[in-house]
Structure formats: C-alpha cells, structure tokens
C-alpha cells in the first residue's frame, strides 16, 4: 500500500493568502497526484509568480482534496470574475455568509450570462430567507424571470413566503427540500424555539457537523416536546446509536400517543436493531391508528418480506453448520430426537402496544 508523507509550503506573494505549512499523510494515489501537482505549481510560481490561471488551478486541487480554506485562499489570489461562483460556494460551505453574500452580489451584477445571474440571485435569496423573507421572495421571482427553469424548484418556497415570514416554518420547508446549509441559517433566527434548535441540530449533522449542542439546548427547553424527541431519535439513527434511537422514539410516542407516524418510526427503530416481531407490532399499531394508511401497510409488507428472507437464510446456515452426517440407518425403536424448527416465529415481549 502506498503511503506518502509530503511537505508543502504554499506561500503565494500576497497578504490576502495565509502561508501554508502542512505535513500531509496519504495513501490515496489521486490525492497524492494532486499534492504533487500543487508542488509543481509552487515551483513554477517561484520562478514567474502566481498568475490568475495558476492560482485558480491550485484552488481547484485544494478543493478536490477537501481543503476549502486553502482553496478559498487561492481563488481569492486568482482575483478573476470567472472564479466568483466557486468562491461563493466555498464561502457558503465554510459558513462565511457575509463574504458569500458580497461575492454573490458582485456575480449577480457582473455576470455576462443570465444563468449565473439567476443562480446568484437564488443563493442570495436563500441566504436572506430567515432575516428578510420579503427580499428573498423578490430575488427568487427575479431569478425565475431570468431563468424560468427555477419555477418548479422554488415553487414550495415561494408559497410559504407568500403566507408567512416565520423563520421556523420557512426553515422546515428548507429541511424538507434538504437544503441543509440554508435550513441551519434560517432557523438561527429563532434561537429560543426548541423545535427550531432541534432541526438546527439535524441540519448540522446532515452537513457533517456536530448537532450535539443544539440538540441539548432544545431538550433543555422542552424535554416533554414529542417533536423534539422525534428529531432526537432521527439524530441517534443517523449516528448509528440505534438503542438510543429506540428510546427517543418510545418517549415521543408516550408524549403524543395519538400520532401514528411516531409509532411507525418506533417500528422502524426496532427493525434496525433486528427485532422484527416488535417492529411489526408497532407498525401494525400505526396502521390501525391511521385508519389503514397505505404507507404503513407497505412498511409492514416490506418488513414481513425481510423477515422471511432472514428466516430462509438462517435455515440454510443452520443446515450447513449443525446438520449431522448420517453414518448409519436410524433405529426405529430408538427415542425420536427433538427437531429444531428454525422458522418458528419468536415474539419476545419487549414493548407491546
């Protein structure tokens, strides 16, 4: 296995770029190739300086290997109108919303094509949606005027902005469309709302950041809120903490016993820990409580199919592992041996509705 330690000192001749001294271990040949390319660029720059093209190439290499701050430094060094869009995307990725907005505003005013102008307006609207929803709506409408293709993707947001300026409701719509950067930003304008804090935690986790602090704040404010407990269960599931997820969903159902969706999530939680009989019981309860909602019926069918597959696989494995070899004819007068029925249904009474 290739294991390479490379020393880089990237120090472009400008005060706007922080000199980099990074010792990087890697056994990834693609990453190693990009690091070697960066070294060659530095050697070339030592001779005749950092041209915009050379700096932009370095930025793309750093971005590709997951170093956004280094990429930002070189895009800034390139100082090219062509780099405004990738630069604004990186500012948003690292949460530098002020610089992102400034860069997007410049792009919306200077781009020669309607595609980049409309794109920048959509991003500006998403950044402003929590603090100035009226301005956000105006930006979305202008983007659609320039590029009608945005009509469908922005329809739900335009509808919620037509009826409310509440950042919590707006944030939920953003979450439903999986715009996690903007969900977190919009919900930050409701810092005392426990459900907003819970969904901020979810948004952070979906971006690969920690949502622990926001979730703790939400639970401190509203430990008896079933929706907060629901989000807690989702977060634990995302982290692979499946037993904790079961506990959170169980609390949610206790706090809101008339909500079939919570029982369905509890059933799913049991399915994920491998307790299929208990999972089926909770899904069946959700089905009955919802007046036979077909979504829950389908979940039960899928669960039963999964259970049958597991039982079939178990029967095959049992046959291969413990089936005795027959070395002589069985004695008809001998006592019959007990048989192992591997398809017998087992339903431990762990948690019955």
- The reported pLDDT for the residue numbered 325 is 52
Which of the pair, 307 or 115, is modelled with greater confidence?
A: 115
Span 18-26, mean pLDDT? Answer: 45
| φ, ψ of residue 20 in degrees (nearest 5) | -110, 135
* Helix 260-272 × helix 294-322 angle, to 10°: 20
Q: What angle do CA 244, 208, 59 make, to 5 degrees?
A: 170
On average, the pLDDT of the chain sits at: 84
- The reported pLDDT for the residue numbered 5 is 30
Span 147-175, mean pLDDT? Answer: 94
DSSP-assigned states of every residue in 143-197: HHHH-TTHHHHHHHHHHHHHH---HHHHHHHHHHTT-HHHHHHHHTT-TT-HHHH
- The reported pLDDT for the residue numbered 62 is 94
Between the alpha carbon of residue 87 and those of residues 31, 99, 155, the distances in Å are 21, 9, 27
Contacts 24+ apart (CB under 8 A), 127-132: 127/92, 127/97, 127/100, 127/101, 127/182, 127/185, 128/101, 129/157, 129/161, 129/167, 129/170, 129/174, 129/182, 129/185, 129/186, 130/167, 130/170, 130/171, 130/185, 130/186, 130/187, 130/188, 130/189, 131/189
Span 245-255, mean pLDDT? Answer: 96
Span 56-73, mean pLDDT? Answer: 94
- The reported pLDDT for the residue numbered 150 is 96
* Helix 194-206 × helix 212-221 angle, to 10°: 160
DSSP reduced 3-state for 36 = helix
Q: Is the pLDDT of residue 185 over 70?
A: yes
The Cβ-side half-sphere exposure at 201, using a 13 Å CA radius, reads 26
DSSP 51: -
CA distance between the termini of the chain: 53
> pLDDT > 90: what percent of the chain?
71
Span 235-255, mean pLDDT? Answer: 95
Q: How confident is the model at residue 31 (pLDDT cuts 50, 70, 90)?
A: confident
> pLDDT > 70: what percent of the chain?
80
- The reported pLDDT for the residue numbered 2 is 31
**Most confident region among 120-134, 314-328, 339-353 by mean pLDDT:** 120-134
CA distance 249 to 73: 45
- The reported pLDDT for the residue numbered 341 is 40
pLDDT per residue over 118-138, tens digit each?
A: 999 999 999 999 999 999 999
Question: Which of 312, 315, 242 minimizes the C-alpha distance to 279?
Answer: 242
Q: Is the pLDDT of residue 6 over 90?
A: no
Span 152-167, mean pLDDT? Answer: 94
Which of the pair, 224 or 308, is modelled with greater confidence?
A: 224
């Amino acid at each position: 296995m290739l294991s390479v330690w490379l020393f880089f000192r990237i120090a472009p001749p400008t005060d706007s770029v922080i000199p980099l001294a990074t010792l990087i271990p890697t056994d990834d040949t693609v990453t190693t190739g990009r690091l070697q390319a960066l070294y060659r660029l530095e050697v070339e720059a030592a001779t005749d300086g950092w041209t915009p093209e050379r700096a932009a190439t370095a930025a793309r290499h750093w971005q590709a290997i997951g170093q956004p701050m280094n990429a930002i430094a070189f895009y800034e060094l390139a100082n090219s109108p062509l780099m405004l869009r990738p630069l604004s995307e990186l500012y948003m990725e690292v949460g530098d919303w002020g610089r992102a907005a400034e860069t997007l505003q410049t792009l919306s005013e200077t781009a020669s094509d309607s595609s980049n102008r409309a794109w920048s307006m959509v991003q500006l609207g998403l950044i402003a949606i929590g603090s100035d929803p009226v301005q956000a709506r105006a930006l979305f409408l202008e983007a659609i005027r320039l590029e009608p293709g945005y009509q469908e993707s922005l329809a739900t947001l335009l509808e919620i902005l037509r009826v409310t300026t509440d950042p919590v409701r707006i944030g939920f719509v953003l979450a439903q469309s999986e715009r996690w950067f903007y969900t977190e930003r919009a919900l930050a304008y409701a810092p005392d709302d426990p459900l907003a804090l819970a969904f901020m935690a979810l948004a952070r986790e979906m971006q690969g950041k920690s949502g622990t602090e926001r979730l703790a704040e939400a639970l401190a404010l509203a430990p008896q809120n079933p929706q907060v407990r629901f989000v807690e269960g989702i977060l634990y599931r995302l982290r692979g903490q499946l037993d904790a997820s079961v506990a959170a969903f169980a609390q949610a159902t206790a706090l809101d016993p008339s909500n079939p969706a919570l029982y369905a999530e509890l059933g799913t939680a049991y399915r994920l820990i491998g307790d299929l009989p208990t999972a089926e019981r909770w899904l069946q309860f959700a089905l009955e409580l919802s007046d036979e909602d077909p979504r829950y019926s389908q979940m039960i069918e899928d669960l039963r199919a999964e259970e049958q597959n597991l039982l079939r696989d178990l029967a095959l494995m049992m046959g291969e592992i413990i089936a005795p070899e027959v070395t002589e004819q069985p004695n008809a007068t001998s006592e019959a041996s007990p048989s192992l029925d591997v398809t017998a249904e087992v339903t431990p009474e762990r948690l019955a509705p």
